Amino acid sequence: MQEQDFAKVVQVNGANVYFEHHQHPEAAETFVLLHGFLSSTFSFRRLTPLLKENYNVISIDLPPFGNSEKNNRFVYSYDNLANTVIALLDHLKVTNIHLTGHSMGGQIALNVMKKAPSLVEKGVLLCSSGYLKRMNWPVTMLSHIPFFHLYVKLWLTRSGVRRNLENVVHDATMIDDEMMFGYLKPFLEEDIFRALTRMIRDREGDLSENDLRNIDTPCLLVWGEHDRVVPITTGHRLKQDIPNSRMVVLEETGHLVPEERPLEVLEHIQQFVSASTEEPFGRKETQPLFKKGLSQTLISET
């Protein structure tokens, strides 16, 4: 049996969803990757090849990002995006996954764990967003104004791809033309700005402390010590609220951990998924496991 890689768009939950699927000839375990806000499967370009060596891997473009549909009639709440992920995995007949989410993708992963706990064997949260409130009502009201999507476009244009990338990585020298174009590409389509306007209205805020405390899925939290987008204090708080969780901190690392430290992230993930599911680790202390000198979206969370 040979390895098989393919990319496909399927309609699930009322949206055309793009995903990339690697089927390993022998692996029984499957990783599902969810990217962050204003990002796409591109953000896992350094981690996916490493995971593919030993696991099945499914990387999803969450609507309206990447190559997925950008429809301003779709409901872009985190709850409905979680429904979309669940529907896609049901379509693919995939179960018992290791669900991995970066930034906003981590919050959607948590929503999936809440809604379909039997689907997820283990969760990996890479600098996951957390505790963000619903968009304030003046902005929500303004989003109903015709042509508001042009303001969204202007905001993104003014912030600029390079400046956003400099905000999410610790070492700006890693930013090259390939990286800049990869994060820019999804925003060359005009429809995304209308969809982002709809997302502003639909975004209901992150899961509450009570919701988090009811998630029983074992979770690994991986953070960059210099994360300027989702500060490490959010990671510590999530670790306290998610009962069956542990946290590791990568030194000299920013927010974009799959790009910055893929080898270290892989090592932590492999240690985590190979541990017994019955091994208690909720009380484990947060600690940096990689010291200086060792070889980690365009994006700021709204």
Report, as residue numbers or ranges, the catalytic residues.
103, 255
Site of tokens 């541990």: 275
Nearest to 245 by CA among 225, 217, 275, 273: 217
Q: Which residues pair with 245 in a beta bridge?
A: 219
Site of tokens 């991995």: 100
- How far is CA 82 from each of CA 87, 110, 153, rounded to the nearest angstrom? 9, 9, 26
Q: Which residues pair with 124 in a beta bridge?
A: 100, 220
Calculate ∠ Cα 88-273-86, nearest 5°.
Answer: 15
CA 223 to chain centre: 13
Are 216 and 244 in contact by the 8 Å Cβ rule? The answer is yes
CA atoms within 13 A on the CB side of 112: 34
Exposure letters 23-60 (e unless 16+ CB within 10 A, then b):
bbeebebbbbbbbbbbbbbbbbbbbbebbbeebbbbbb
Q: Can you tell me the distance from the alpha carbon of 116 to that of 211, in angstroms, rounded to the nearest whole number?
A: 13
